[in-house]
Amino acid sequence: MASTKRRWRPKLPEQFIEVRNLDFCRGSRHIFKNLNLTIARGEITAIMGTSGSGKTTLLQLITRQLVPDRGQVFIDGVDIGKLNLRELYKLRKRFGVLFQNGALLTDMSVFENVAFPLREHTRLTNRLIRHVVLTKLHAVGLRGAADMMPGQLSGGMARRVALARAMVMDPDILIYDEPFVGLDPISMGVIVRLIKRMNEALGITSILVSHDVKEIMEVADCSYLISNGKVAASGSPDDMRQQLSETVRQFMHGMADGPVPFHFDAPDYEEQLLGRDEK
C-alpha cells in the first residue's frame, strides 16, 4: 500500500519588493531598459554592477525619490507610484538607510546621531529614547562611544554608528548603499558580520548595493548583476560563480578586458580632437 505521508517542502520566501518593466533615463541616456527584479522578504539581496550602472539610482526609484519613465515598483503589494505624499512618508518610515560613507551629522554626538530619527518621528520620552539608542549602539559594539563626536571616529566606527541609526526605528527594509567603501579589511569584516547578524536576528529585508564581489558573496542570499540597463544575471552566490556569460565573468573576476568597456560613450576621438584644433 502506498504511503499517504506528505513530502515536506520548504516554504518559499515571500516576494516583498518587485520592480516591473522599469525604464528610466537621465537626459538622452538610458539608465534602465525594461528592468525586472524581485526581492524576497527576510533575505539579503545584493545589487551589483560597475560604477555608473545605476545601482544607487535603483535605490532612489525603490524609495520613490525618483519616478520611473515607465514601469512600476511594488512594495509589499503596493504600487508606490500611486501613493499620495502622506502615504509615501508613512511607507518610508519602514525603511532604514545606511548611506555611502555613513553621512553622520558632524555637529551631533554619536548618541544624538542615532537618536535623531526617534526625535523627529516619534513622541518617545527622553528616557525611552536613551534606552533604545544605547541598545542599538550596544548591538554594533559602540555603546562606549555614545558621547564621542563623528570627527573622533575611525571610518569603520562611523559606519557602525550609521548602521545603528539606520536600525533605530526598527525598519522592515534596510538599505545599504556601498557599505564597504573605504574600509580596512578588519572593519569590512565587522560590517559583513553585522549585516548578517542583524538580518538573522531581526528578520529584516536587506538590499545591499555594492561592487565588492568577495563581500557580497559572503553575505547575500541572492544577487542581481545590472549591466546595460538590465539584469545580466541573478541567483545565489553559487549560481553567480557558475555563470558562463562573458559580462558576468568579467565582473565577478575583475577582468580588465571584456564586454564592459573602459571608456564612457564619447564621439570619435580623432574627430573631436581635430574639431577642437579648428576652433
Supply the DSSP string of 135-163, one letter for each residue.
Answer: HHHHHTT-GGGTT--GGGS-HHHHHHHHH
Cβ neighbours of 215 (radius 10 Å): 20
- The radius of gyration of the chain from alpha carbons, rounded to an integer in Å, stands at 22
What is the pLDDT at residue 21? Answer: 92
Q: What is the DSSP string of 225-255?
A: EEETTEEEEEE-HHHHHT---HHHHHHHHT-
- By residue count, the chain amounts to 279
Determine the pLDDT at residue 23.
92
Q: What is the DSSP letter of 210?
A: -
DSSP state of 262: S
Query: Domains, the chain, ranges and CATH?
Result: 15-94+171-278 (3.40.50.300)
Residue 103 burial by Cβ neighbours in a 10 Å radius (0-12, 13-18, 19+): middle
pLDDT of residue 251: 62
Task: Give how far Cα 113 sits from Cα of 137, 150, 169, 175, 233, Å.
Answer: 11, 9, 13, 18, 38
User: Rounded CA gap, 101 and 103, in Å?
Assistant: 6
- Return the pLDDT at 20: 92
pLDDT tens digits, the chain, 279 residues: what are they?
444 444 444 444 577 899 999 999 888 788 899 899 999 888 899 898 777 778 888 989 999 999 999 999 999 889 999 999 999 988 888 888 888 777 888 899 999 999 999 998 888 899 999 999 999 898 888 889 999 999 998 888 888 898 889 888 888 898 988 877 777 777 778 778 888 887 887 788 999 888 777 777 778 888 888 888 888 888 887 777 776 666 666 666 555 555 455 445 566 666 777 775 444
Query: What are the DSSP E strand ranges found in the chain?
Result: 15-26, 29-40, 44-48, 70-75, 78-79, 95-98, 173-177, 205-209, 222-227, 230-235
Cell of 68: 520611473
Nine cell digits for residue 178: 556601498
- Rounded Cα–Cα distance for residues 157 and 164 (Å): 11
Collapsing DSSP to helix, strand or coil, 269 comes out as helix
Position 257 scores a pLDDT of: 53
For 23, half-sphere exposure in the C-beta direction (CA atoms, 13 angstrom radius) is 9
* Cα 120 to Cα 221: distance, rounded to the nearest angstrom: 33
